[in-house]
Amino acid sequence: MRIPRRYWRNLDWPLILAVLALTAIGLVVIYSASYSQLVAAGLSPWHYVRSQLVAFGVGLVAAIVIVSIDYRVWIRWSKLIYIATMAVLGGVLFLGQTVFGSQRWIRVGPMGIQPSELAKIAIVLVLAKFFEKEENAQNLAGVGKAFLLVLFPMALILKQPDLGTAAIFVGLFFTMWYVGNGNAKHIMIAGLLVIVGSISVVILSLQGWVSIIKPYQLKRILVFLDPYSDPSGAGWNIIQSIIAIGSGGFFGKGVLNGTQSSLHFLPANHTDFVFSVIAEEFGFLGSVVVLALFVVVLWRGLHIAAVAKDTYGTLLATGATGIFFFHLIINVGMTLGFMPITGLPLPFITAGGSIMLTSLMAIAIILNVGLRRNKIMF
């Protein structure tokens, strides 16, 4: 659907500029973090940067398409998108590519796609449709049906295994349930049950009575409480990350000068622990700038959700913004030692085509809602 030129003034430029700034910072950090590793392997130091730019280009095309279509049309597509996504998630368990012990990727030509990332968009779409009807958010039967919609992809993702992404789905469910005008008492009780249930699963897994959580995931949870209980093993990543962050000082060591990164003390420095590289090479000041840009993204997303013309738009914008919030909290918390290591990427910064594509699609959803925030536009 063609958008009349006069309506483009509703496009949220602070949000767009924040995303472009984060992407530019990400390219610099990826180049610096992966430089020594790629050169040592005889590859071009621009290898990951080029891949990131390709992913950005693909994501930009997808974002333009999403923004161009009135978001109300997605109500008809959400069920089909959800079913297709679940089918692909199931296919990963049989046809997926295994990397570092996790079967999360499907190879599409030269690119590896992580369906669990795209599943976040599907969940936002289907929950927005479901909770648009206020009775579904206030009726326990309706909430139970919504939770089943979330539980199915969570089970498939835990099977990969990917505990961090599964945790995001829980966060999105509670966030959208609350915004859908759910009963606060019911939400609090459900949240308490989830916490108690999670702790029980960990305890039972430690006792060997259930196998929902993998042994290495259990070790990460235990080491999170005391990294120095296994400093050369499971605690190594957290310890090296904290050292990298602390050594950056106020202004940082500069691009390509991060010793923890270049000397390979810090693992997965262009993916999981990219924020540690930012803190080491750009210091406290650079870290604050990056966090401030994410705050702009969250602020503009919530603002658009607040001024949306209908409940469906509010839920879409809230869910899309929630994706960034939970990624930010878990990833940065992990690098600081405040949360267990989960391997969850940092949007726009971490090297990876799937997270870049998903992030730009989520931004496009937010922009779409904001673009059509007036009651009558067409």
What is the spatial distance between Cα 158 and Cα 369, in angstroms, rounded to a whole number? 32
User: Is 378 within a domain?
Assistant: no
User: Is 132 within a domain?
Assistant: yes
**Overall domain count for the chain:** 1
Q: pLDDT 10s digit of each residue in the chain, 378 long?
A: 555 665 667 789 999 999 999 999 999 999 988 888 888 788 888 888 999 999 999 999 999 999 999 998 988 888 899 999 888 888 777 765 555 455 555 665 555 678 888 899 999 999 999 999 888 888 888 888 999 999 988 888 887 777 788 889 999 999 999 999 888 888 999 999 988 888 787 777 666 666 666 666 666 776 766 677 777 776 777 888 888 888 888 888 888 887 777 666 677 667 778 888 899 999 999 999 999 999 999 999 999 999 998 999 999 999 999 999 999 999 998 888 777 777 788 999 998 888 999 999 999 999 999 988 765 443
For residue 360, give Cα distances in angstroms to 64, 67, 272. 10, 11, 19
Residue 336 has, within 13 A of its CA and on its CB side, a CA count of 10
pLDDT, position 195: 87
User: Is 135 within a domain?
Assistant: yes
Residue 299 has, within 13 A of its CA and on its CB side, a CA count of 12
pLDDT, position 340: 77
- Residue 294 in 3-state DSSP? helix
Q: Whole-structure pTM over 0.85, yes or no?
A: yes
- Whose structure tokens read 């030509």? 109
What does the block give as tokens for 26? 């990400």
User: Is 1 within a domain?
Assistant: no
- Whose structure tokens read 């730019």? 53
User: What is the secondary structure of 69-102 as a DSSP string?
Assistant: S-GGGHHHHHHHHHHHHHHHHHHHHHHPEEETTE
What is the spatial distance between Cα 249 and Cα 258, in angstroms, rounded to a whole number? 12
pLDDT, position 214: 67
CB count within 10 Å of CB 310 equals 15
pLDDT, position 134: 83
Q: Where are the beta strands (DSSP E) in the chain?
A: 97-99, 102-108, 111-113
User: Is 12 within a domain?
Assistant: yes
pLDDT, position 216: 66
User: Is 376 within a domain?
Assistant: no
pLDDT, position 45: 86
User: Is 3 within a domain?
Assistant: no
Boundaries of domain holding 245: 8-371
User: Is 2 within a domain?
Assistant: no
